[in-house]
Amino acid sequence: MSSKSKQSKSIIYQEFGNASNSEALERTVRDVPPPQQNIRVQSTRSGRKGKTVTVITGFQHSPETLNKLLKQLKNQCGSGGTIKEGDLEIQGDHRQKLVQVLGDLGYKVKISGG
């Protein structure tokens, strides 16, 4: 084998366009207005070594919008948090406060679970 054939990696078959164009392959998520979203707020400890976390689900926003919203909610609660698989997680049990804040922002919010 020549050194040229080792260096060039030619694609024999490719079904869905250019793989290096990752922007085209990303799923676009459109921002739905807050009054059209049904948000669920629940408090859970499962799988978190006994630590209570408030999980907020049901958002239909882009990742940038979710980051802005997460920052605002963390400031309101005075605690940390993260985004996991499109759901917001706030450390501690802040269900009542989050329902009030999200309701003020225009979301339809319900407390879920016990």
Record the pTM. 0.73
Q: What's residue 18's pLDDT?
A: 59
Q: In terms of CATH architecture, what is 31-111?
A: 2-Layer Sandwich (3.30)
- Mean pLDDT, 10 residues at a time, the chain of 114 residues: 56 65 58 92 90 95 94 96 94 96 95 83
pLDDT at 47: 84
Domain ranges of the chain: 31-111
Backbone angle region of 96, left / alpha / beta, with phi > 0 → left and psi within -120 to 50 → alpha: alpha
CB 68 within 8 A of CB 15: no
Q: What is the pLDDT of residue 71?
A: 97
Q: What is the pLDDT of residue 28?
A: 62
Cβ of 106: how many Cβ atoms within 10 Å? 12
